[in-house]
Amino acid sequence: MNTVYVVQHVRDEDGPDEDVKMIGIYSSPETATAAVDQLKSQPGFSDWPDGFHVDAYPVDKDHWAEGFVDL
């Protein structure tokens, strides 16, 4: 099964909203980590270096199949 690696940055300022940025989708954990390493020193990201997340996703598979409740 093929897997992609999604890099996002989340800035949570202890308020009701988060600022989520989709950085990119990569073919390996190494290229995803290299992207994070490059961006950590950039303006804005350098203020929130722990906001990066790398998640592995198998392709051709549902990742949220339970539905949702509108609050």
How do the domains of the chain map onto residue ranges?
Answer: 3-58
Lay out the sheet containing 18-26: strands in order across.
Answer: 18-26, 3-12, 52-58
Task: Find out whether 3 and 57 touch, Cβ atoms under 8 Å.
Answer: yes
pLDDT of residue 27: 97
Shortest CA distance to 23 belongs to which of 12, 40, 13?
40
CB 48 within 8 A of CB 36: no
Q: What is the pLDDT of residue 1?
A: 63
Structure token pair of residue 38: 């490059």
Q: Splitting the chain (71 residues) into consecutive groups of 10 residues, what average pLDDT does each group show? A: 94 79 97 98 93 96 86 71
